[in-house]
Amino acid sequence: MKWYSATVFAIGIAFCAALALYPKPAPAQDATYQGTGIVCDEPEQVARYVRSTEGGGTLAAINAEKANSCAIMKVAFLMGETREKIATSTGTWQLTKILIVGVDIGQGIQEVVPTVQWSAFRIEGELAA
Exposed, middle or buried by CB within 10 Å (0-12, 13-18, 19+), for 46?
buried
CA distances from 17 to 11, 34, 38, 123 (A): 10, 36, 39, 41
| pLDDT value of residue 30 | 72
Q: What are phi and psi of 27, to 5 degrees?
A: -60, 155
Q: Across the chain, what does the average pLDDT equal?
A: 79
Instruction: For residue 95, list its beta bridge partners.
Output: 120
Return d(Cα 88, Cα 93) in angstroms, integer.
8
pLDDT in tens, 6-41: 433 433 333 333 333 333 444 445 789 999 999 999
pLDDT in tens, 47-80: 999 999 887 889 999 999 999 999 999 999 999 9
Q: Please report which helix (H) or strand (E) contains residue 114, including its range.
A: strand 109-124
